Structure 1
């Protein structure tokens, strides 16, 4: 679409006014904070204003037209589609967890940035332009039509498997986004975590339920602007604070030597060594208990029962009695449960007993073999994230929304540009925050801890997001005494850096925008797959357009509430959930998508066999090696972590698809013609 067109100019004016109004809103809140406005009201203002904004765009963009609901009428200009796709892409994992991962893991955390950025290059080169030339509504549409077969040539089995993969991948991913919504809402409004989830869900539903892809697109453009401003302002502030340079991408290079020097000082600090020795001793105690099971479990149960009886007999305070009762209730129910719990506590203490690896050291380890394992896992994770990115249904769906193939190519360029504005800032933020904590918090007096620590510790009292305990009882904070969840780092950055609270509200609004924008796209991908590919294409091909849209909206509601319930159970950390989604997408969908475009010989039977084989291999490896679902680390192949299961699933899917295609009849001439069409020059 020509950038001088009236439609493009009108959109540009709308969003320039929106950006100016948002800037005015920030300035007004900053002035009100100076005048004494309570922090809680600032948090409420950001949450209320942004949710009302997104809901308003959803109401304005409501539609019952099939083309508008599924693909925004195929008239989104490349610049704005790039912004919307970037918002769809910059999920809670990117906004909230990436910097935290880099803070905790140093160089190893770069695997996410390299994998996701490189993956979008694969989208641009291998997938997106060809999908736009195909001009349908969903990814199962492409696969079913390309590979044919099924009743009436509608690709029944292929379509059904693709729909199943879309639902599993997108549902796993959307649970992580809704979890982040609950985390942000509970921190900045004071509501319960579960209540915060359903508050955010209301905003998601108004956008996606009323307007479909049309409403989501224009909401995501607005959300990207908030994401960018929210991420850059605190990072630039910290950059000026520690390096006197407002460009964090350049400034953090000068902070790295200071951080390395501070890391060396802490590694040799006698107090740090003392704390790590205490953690090591605790780990040995748990190991000794495990080695003497079940006798150790029986002795332990008798001891906690004796302590409860003792406090009751001496008429202790109610608080002491309740504490003793909780200790008895929390004690393992049997020896098998004790083994699992004590092993987890042993590993946690061993982890904290090790000195932290230097931030800039790649693949740190106590010996060359351990370093090799870390390097192999780094490369495997990059591989899975790249190929998973190129197969994510909610991202690939955006290829259908532009007016032409040329606009799709332009949209991919703009998407990469807008993503990199944030991604190039994330490593800088991790280093700046790490240096701030190492130089300001470490060494502080326990009686003078900043308020933000208690705020974040109370967000989740069962699994605290941050914990600082005086292990060696010297009254001074050591680095080894700090346990911080990676998911909290970005949200707490303004408070860590001593910035005004209005910036904390801004960062919360940015995190909320990132989670909501991705959740919108994922829920629409699921509901469209069910309504269009299952109901319309398989169950009722004669359904009217109005009925199809209505069915999609009802399914979206159902999926949204199921996902919200799953997120309220806090199933795992955000990055783990997202990583699982990428490995499943890569293993199941990537081989069929790429071979469907570039290999004419790929056929119906091969697509079915390849998708099933890739999915089963990936899922089996995850379940077989992840301790959280009954697996064992001892079952890992080549020491590859379960998050990178796609490194086995993708080759299995490609190999089985190629072999099955060669052993069965070639595809029809119609399929050959389709491949020639989607690969022909524009």
Structure 2
């Protein structure tokens, strides 16, 4: 059986499973559509939350970022993991106890303000739409390679599959579909990692293999990787970074953004009791850890595999001689030929010698060495988003492993896309139309509105996926910054401060959102369109060296500060609101079910 047929079999079987589950778990009421009926088991919800959380950025891009940036990009791993702990400990149980369907629901009622609710909807939509771009981009990458279609067709196929199981199933269908998707993606991620770890280090546990000896050289794998890439002008893989402030702010931005992501928060509204929300969070951390403890090993091993593929003699210790003998382009391995067809790997023979030179042509100190070797620039471009997907082929693993990782990559993108699209459609149908525009709408009409909103959101996400502003994890990082700067502070203050009022909340959200968007647009352009930025996006132009991807943390601090100061000089919330805050934070009524 050909590799294409195997890929088609694995991906097709997973699609059939998802659509079958959606038909079986079709939402029959608004409560089913928004919170899966409010009766999901904590373990089931933990697994669904893990799938919702581990997006295309986690499955596809994170290891690619670690592979290309090493320690410098470990902020992604620390921020996303730490943020989930923040969410689980400080927000999820209390929001579940509040007993509503959506994040704007909580903000609107807690701050007794239609303006606050509307602003929360706007913030939610901006963050979720930005986030979903990364999922559609990741799905396009996976489809274009494994189903041998164009990136455009890949995104349209992904949109169709999400439409079939999300529009009809709602949260109920999405929940059980995400359980299946978690099983698919975690198996797909760990099996290739085990094979590769065994091949390179002899250790079957990737996380331990990362700190084991590289079999070919008898030295630690990370030491070997450092030696290989330094010989080609790159910084040490394990090297520290100079701009500590930016790293801290970026990690914090990812943390508060994680805790403010509406599509993850609403997962905790699906369980029967507050205690179940806590248990769901605990189980989700276990399920997430299985992938996140493996990702650093996958990234490092992918980078080493790539470099020794181009420079086969790098397995030895004579790095200077090995660098003079990269492979000839005509002798490139099959996996490079395969990925070239997608356009995600490209080769440009700049010195016309027929060989593939891969090195850091941005390193001025290495320039004399490159000139002496007659190298005229890096010749192989490899998209970061493909490294995890290409890993099995790089390591010559069996065809069924490649088919499995194809299904896993697609599952990761689709699971998070569905959760995001549900959050967007819920905000439109429930928070805008049901609550603000037409409170008398029937349940049947509300569900129809929710499904139409979902369909419209899918079309918008598809368009944006076809015209993405960056690779998946970069786009996702921007979404986290926006969510962290706008929603996280008002959620935290709404739970832990009885004095926080509606004026302070609105002022804080506006400040955090506007400051963050202005900073992003200044350096990345209006909706990240090249050429529309006001200042060049370089560290020399950033304020205090703070990257646009890191500014969400600053936006959150501004949000907290403005909200606190404004609330102190304006009237305190009504007594019944203060009593509400008190009741949310203490156990009385903790077992109360959600009431629509």
TM-score (norm 1): 0.78
> 2:567 corresponds to which residue?
661
For residues 583-604 of structure 1, the C-alpha deviation after alignment (integer angstroms, 9 at most, x for no partner) is 0001101110000000110001
Please tell me whether residue 144 in structure 1 is matched to residue 108 in structure 2. Answer: yes
SS at structure 2 position matched to 1:642 = coil
180, 192, 212: which one pairs with 1:234? 192
438, 441, 444: which one pairs with 1:540? 438
Aligned ranges for residues 159-170 of structure 1 at < 5 Å? 159-170=117-128
Whole-angstrom distance in 1 between the partners of 2:563 and 2:224:
53
For residues 134-166 of structure 1, the C-alpha deviation after alignment (integer angstroms, 9 at most, x for no partner) is 111000000111110xxxxxx210110000011
Please tell me whether residue 260 in structure 1 is matched to residue 226 in structure 2. Answer: no
534, 541, 549: which one pairs with 1:631? 534
Contact 1:59 1:206 in 2 (8 A): no
> 1:249 corresponds to which residue?
207
Contact 2:133 2:468 in 1 (8 A): no
After superposition, the Cα gap between the structure-2 partners of 1:165 and 1:266, relative to the gap in structure 1 and judged at 3 Å, is closer
Whole-angstrom distance in 2 between the partners of 1:586 and 1:262:
35
Please tell me whether residue 378 in structure 1 is matched to residue 378 in structure 2. Answer: no
Please tell me whether residue 447 in structure 1 is matched to residue 350 in structure 2. Answer: no
346, 350, 354: which one pairs with 1:467? 346
Higher helix share: 1
Whole-angstrom distance in 2 between the partners of 1:107 and 1:405:
38
Contact 1:260 1:358 in 2 (8 A): no
> 1:110 corresponds to which residue?
74
Aligned ranges for residues 95-134 of structure 1 at < 5 Å? 95-134=59-98
SS at structure 1 position matched to 2:498 = coil
Whole-angstrom distance in 2 between the partners of 1:439 and 1:202:
40
> 2:485 corresponds to which residue?
587
Whole-angstrom distance in 1 between the partners of 2:329 and 2:168:
51
After superposition, the Cα gap between the structure-2 partners of 1:467 and 1:192, relative to the gap in structure 1 and judged at 3 Å, is closer
Whole-angstrom distance in 2 between the partners of 1:265 and 1:499:
23
Contact 1:259 1:435 in 2 (8 A): no
Aligned ranges for residues 138-537 of structure 1 at < 5 Å? 138-148=102-112, 155-255=113-213, 257-261=220-224, 263-264=226-227, 267-268=230-231, 355-363=233-241, 371=242, 373=243, 375-442=244-311, 443-460=326-343, 465-480=344-359, 481-537=379-435
After superposition, the Cα gap between the structure-2 partners of 1:672 and 1:615, relative to the gap in structure 1 and judged at 3 Å, is same
Instruction: Point out where structure 1 has 5 or more consecutive residues left out of the alignment.
Output: 1-36, 149-154, 273-354, 364-370
SS at structure 1 position matched to 2:381 = strand
In the TM superposition, residue 482 of structure 1 has moved relative to its aligned partner by 3.2
Contact 2:132 2:417 in 1 (8 A): yes
Whole-angstrom distance in 1 between the partners of 2:157 and 2:480:
27
TM-score (norm 2): 0.89
SS at structure 2 position matched to 1:483 = strand
In the TM superposition, residue 626 of structure 1 has moved relative to its aligned partner by 2.4
Please tell me whether residue 84 in structure 1 is matched to residue 84 in structure 2. Answer: no
After superposition, the Cα gap between the structure-2 partners of 1:262 and 1:593, relative to the gap in structure 1 and judged at 3 Å, is closer
Please identify the structure whose Cα radius of gyration is greater.
1
Contact 2:230 2:236 in 1 (8 A): no
SS at structure 2 position matched to 1:180 = helix
Whole-angstrom distance in 2 between the partners of 1:259 and 1:469:
29
> 1:645 corresponds to which residue?
551
In the TM superposition, residue 264 of structure 1 has moved relative to its aligned partner by 2.7
SS at structure 1 position matched to 2:449 = helix
Whole-angstrom distance in 1 between the partners of 2:307 and 2:478:
32
Whole-angstrom distance in 2 between the partners of 1:631 and 1:568:
25
Q: 391-400 or 450-459, which moves further after superposition?
A: 450-459
SS at structure 1 position matched to 2:275 = helix
In the TM superposition, residue 440 of structure 1 has moved relative to its aligned partner by 3.0
Please tell me whether residue 673 in structure 1 is matched to residue 579 in structure 2. Answer: yes
Whole-angstrom distance in 1 between the partners of 2:560 and 2:91:
16
Whole-angstrom distance in 2 between the partners of 1:400 and 1:494:
38
Whole-angstrom distance in 2 between the partners of 1:527 and 1:181:
21
Contact 2:225 2:237 in 1 (8 A): no
Contact 2:108 2:114 in 1 (8 A): yes
Whole-angstrom distance in 2 between the partners of 1:261 and 1:48:
40
Q: Over aligned residue pairs, what C-alpha RMSD do you find?
A: 1.5
> 1:613 corresponds to which residue?
511
Aligned ranges for residues 22-61 of structure 1 at < 5 Å? 37-61=1-25
Whole-angstrom distance in 1 between the partners of 2:463 and 2:309:
39
Contact 1:57 1:219 in 2 (8 A): yes
Whole-angstrom distance in 1 between the partners of 2:213 and 2:206:
10
Contact 1:78 1:414 in 2 (8 A): yes
For residues 624-647 of structure 1, the C-alpha deviation after alignment (integer angstroms, 9 at most, x for no partner) is 122634132354210111111212
SS at structure 2 position matched to 1:643 = coil
In the TM superposition, residue 64 of structure 1 has moved relative to its aligned partner by 2.8
SS at structure 2 position matched to 1:631 = coil
Contact 1:64 1:546 in 2 (8 A): no
After superposition, the Cα gap between the structure-2 partners of 1:266 and 1:171, relative to the gap in structure 1 and judged at 3 Å, is closer
SS at structure 2 position matched to 1:638 = helix
In the TM superposition, residue 539 of structure 1 has moved relative to its aligned partner by 0.8
Contact 1:255 1:431 in 2 (8 A): no
After superposition, the Cα gap between the structure-2 partners of 1:176 and 1:258, relative to the gap in structure 1 and judged at 3 Å, is closer
Contact 2:141 2:385 in 1 (8 A): no
